[in-house]
Amino acid sequence: MTPNDPDQLSSRWVAGITGGLFVFGLAVLVKLYMVSLKDGPALRESMRNRVVQERSVPASRGNIYSADGQLLATSMPVYELRWDASVVDEERFAMHAQETAKGLQRLLGERTASEWFRFLRDQHRDKKRYAFIAKNLSFSLYRKVKELPMFKGSPFKTGLIAEERYTRLMPMGMLAQRTIGYWRPDAKAGLEAAYQSVLNGQDGRRWMQHFGKGQWKPIEADYEVEPRDGADIETTLDSRIQDIAHRALLERLQKYRAEHGSVIVMEVATGKIRAMVNLGREEGDSVYTELRNYAVWERTEPGSTFKFAALLAALEDGIVDTNTRVDTDGGVYVVHGKKVNDSHKGGYGVISLGRALEVSSNTGVVKAIYPKYLANPQDFIDRLYQMGLGEKTGIEVNGESKPFIPQPGGKRWSGTTLPWMMFGYGVQCTPLQTLVFYNALANDGKMVRPRLWERTIDRGQVVAQSELEYIRTSIASKENVLKVRDLMEKVVIRGTAANIKLDSLKLAGKTGTCQLEYWNPERMGYQASFAGYFPADNPKYSCVVVVSRPIKSMGYYANVVAAPVFQDIALGITKFLPDETVPPRGYWSDGLESTASKRAEDATSAWASASEALERGSMPNWAGWKGADVVQLLEKHGYRVEVRGNGRVRSWSAGSGRKSITLVLG
């Protein structure tokens, strides 16, 4: 047999193929062994985990209330609806598409019925698996969409995909919106951020089964770890005072077309902030909204409202008295080649230092006080710090700016720094920091720490409560404080704020008008402010008003732009809340006690108790329950449920048919 014998070559090919098949078969057997015996349990576990998982169940975020019992922030479920058109058969689409399109137009709007039909037809023709329908739908609206002919039934036939998430609502609208704030992973502000750990609660864990379309359902009623809803917080804000302050500020901002402004109203004795308003508008926009918390964040030169701080420092150091005579000398005083000017041309002649404060004479204040500290300016700076003017207030919300007081010898110190500080230039502070100082004057020298948080309530029980805290037990002697208070009354009686004098209510305070960014001609503007308290003879509330960049041609002096806001707020509070500002029981007013108690019941055995009652044929008390929970229980027991409104159950009544019920949510 020759080497190239065809029979021999054929045998070799057969042997080679046979050997290859043997090796391949052996490899398959080894792989089968590995998969079935060695890797099998892990693979089966992996597959099982795709279908059945222990998944997180989000806790409900706590509510935020005002001191008078109004709901300021709450959470509610909203739904995003999408459609897997590929699962809907031709017969179902032909029968129900037209009627469903009409229903979508009626419930959602946005498109006409014919446009909705074309949308459904196109998605169905292209077999789109995740077509967007609508987002941010309430639970009741979602249920109505779900009842439309083509979407009614199993999602495996209808293709309707509902994705639930919770959104934060503010029932009072814009009122105190920036103070309440928000909490998101990428942005945090206000009380929502400051009390995140309290409000957020703890998510639970539950075994759930995947049944397609990104949806999961519980396998059993019990939780592995039951979610613990967040606690509620009650703020010091009074919704009535907040509304009064909001309206008063908004009116002036609109009248003078100002860029933005802020108002804070604080209870003198306690430091409780009863209102904090922050309104601003974007350039070119005429609508004012709560853009930023100017009251806490914005640090500017305060202008003449700082004069009483300079006076009190000098009184405490014993270098002047309110009766000290000073020559305003034509209303101009030259220091290091720079002019200190009075707004009143020609000055006021020879007057007392007290009168200089009443009429807000820059030359009078500087000429009387500046020379006394010229040799040792550090004494003046130290006195300001001793009075608490160099530190933050410690308000609970984030973002408070630190006040700026220049130091002798520092980079921002020059020959004109000290005299300019006497009338509020070269120093910087926030509206809140200005208010805390004036509140201390109203409080006989006791500087209280401002507070927005009143208490924390968890399942109906007060678990933490704020307490009165002093920044300084005394910023100055009572004698000197009373001298300043006397002048503050005279500012309103016969000084720069005489235009807001009232016969029915004694007011006290100080105007402040200052230039902003005066070194930049393109950005230079004005800021009008007023800080004071009322009633002047028995201070109960302190208040600061700051209006930034009003249109100069329309008016920019503090007595016409800012002081009237203070007057409106004082009148509003005393007129509408003459006796009691905050209900004696705070959080418990207006039925909140029953709501809190119901949350406690819901967190324990209410679900099981309600289910047992329905089994017996009796109707449980649904007040305060989440609407979604009640619907789930009732439908589980064969009831037909009609839902009106959003949120928690307010009332319920028997429907038109047997085992039919109507829920009213709100």
Concatenating the DSSP letter of every residue in 535-593 gives: STTS--EEEEEEEE---GGG---HHHHTHHHHHHHHHHHHHH-SS-SS-TTGGGGGGHH
Helix axes 362-373, 377-386, angle to 10 degrees: 110
38 exposure class (CB count in 10 Å sphere: 0-12, 13-18, 19+): exposed
- The model's pLDDT over 231-251, given as tens digits with 9 standing for 90+, comes to 899 999 999 999 999 999 999
Q: Are 288 and 281 within 8 A, CB to CB?
A: yes
pLDDT over threshold 70, residue 585: no
**Which pLDDT score, from 0 to 100, does residue 479 have?**
97
> Number of C-alpha atoms within 13 angstroms, CB side, residue 434?
38
The 3-state DSSP class for residue 612 equals helix
Q: Looking at residue 642, what is its pLDDT?
A: 77
- CA–CA separation, 368 and 319 (whole Å): 9
Q: What is the dihedral of CA 60, 64, 70, 71, to 10 degrees?
A: -30
CA atoms within 13 A on the CB side of 589: 15
Peptide linkage before 371 cis (omega within 30 of 0): no
Buried b (16+ CB within 10 A) or exposed e, 553-573: eeebbbbbbbbbbbbbbbbbb
Q: Are 459 and 596 in contact (CB under 8 A)?
A: yes
Largest CA distance in the chain: 141
pLDDT at 587: 37
Q: Are 110 and 102 in contact (CB under 8 A)?
A: no
How far apart, in Å, are the Cα atoms of 527 and each of 285, 304, 338, 512?
A: 20, 11, 22, 8
- Residue 597 structure tokens: 């108690």
Per cent of the chain over pLDDT 90 is: 54
Instruction: Classify burial at 344, counting beta carbons within 10 Å of its beta carbon; exposed 0-12, middle 13-18, buried 19 or more.
Output: middle
Q: How far apart are CA 153 and CA 659, in angstroms?
A: 20
Distance CA 216, CA 233 (A): 32
Q: Is the dihedral of CA 411, 415, 421, 424 positive or negative?
A: negative
Residue 4 or residue 142, greater confidence = 142
> Which two structure tokens, joined as six digits, stand for 368?
């009387």
Q: Are 137 and 123 in contact (CB under 8 A)?
A: no
* Encoded amino acid at 632, one letter: Q
Compute the CA torsion angle 319, 323, 329, 330 (nearest 10 deg).
130
DSSP states of 451-520 as a string? BSEEEEEETTEEEEE----EEES-SS-HHHHHHHHHHHHHHHHHSTTGGG--SSS--EEEEEEEEESTT-
The helix/strand/coil state of 273 is strand
> What three-state secondary structure class fits 18?
helix
Mean pLDDT of the chain: 85
Residue 528: exposure state from Cβ atoms within 10 A (0-12, 13-18, ≥19) = buried
**Following DSSP, what letter does each residue of 619-659 receive, concatenated?**
----TT-BHHHHHHHHHHTT-EEEEESSSBEEEEEE-SSTT
Q: Which helix (H) or strand (E) holds 296?
A: helix 294-297
Least confident of 102-116, 358-372, 446-460, 614-628: 614-628
pLDDT tier at 591 (50, 70, 90 boundaries)?
very low
List the one residue out of 568, 495, 561, 499 whose CA is nearest residue 527.
561
Overall size of the chain counted in residues: 666
Indicate the DSSP class of residue 365.
H
pLDDT at 36: 59
Q: What is the mean pLDDT of residues 342-361?
A: 93
Alpha helices (H) along 83-216: 90-108, 113-125, 139-146, 155-158, 177-180, 190-194, 196-200
Query: pLDDT band for position 117 (50/70/90)?
Result: very high
Question: Could you identify the residue written with the tokens 């929502």?
Answer: 192
**Closest to 406 (Cα-Cα) out of 437, 429, 387:** 429
d(CA 224, CA 55): 10
In 168-277, alpha helices (H): 177-180, 190-194, 196-200, 239-256
| pLDDT of the residue at 255 | 95
Residue 393 has pLDDT above 90, yes or no: yes
The residues, any chain, with a CB within 8 Å of residue 318's CB and separated by 6 or more, are none
Q: Which of 113-117, 153-157, 329-333, 520-524 has the lowest mean pLDDT?
A: 520-524
pTM over 0.85: no
Q: pLDDT tens digit string along 479-492?
A: 999 999 999 999 99
- As a whole number, mean pLDDT of residues 97-111 equals 92
pLDDT over 70 at 526, yes or no? yes
Amino acid at 311: L
Backbone dihedral angles phi then psi of residue 652, each to the nearest 5 degrees: -155, 155
- Residue 210 is predicted with a pLDDT of 64
Report d(CA 577, CA 584) in Å as an integer: 14
Range of lowest pLDDT (157-161, 267-271, 429-433, 530-534): 157-161
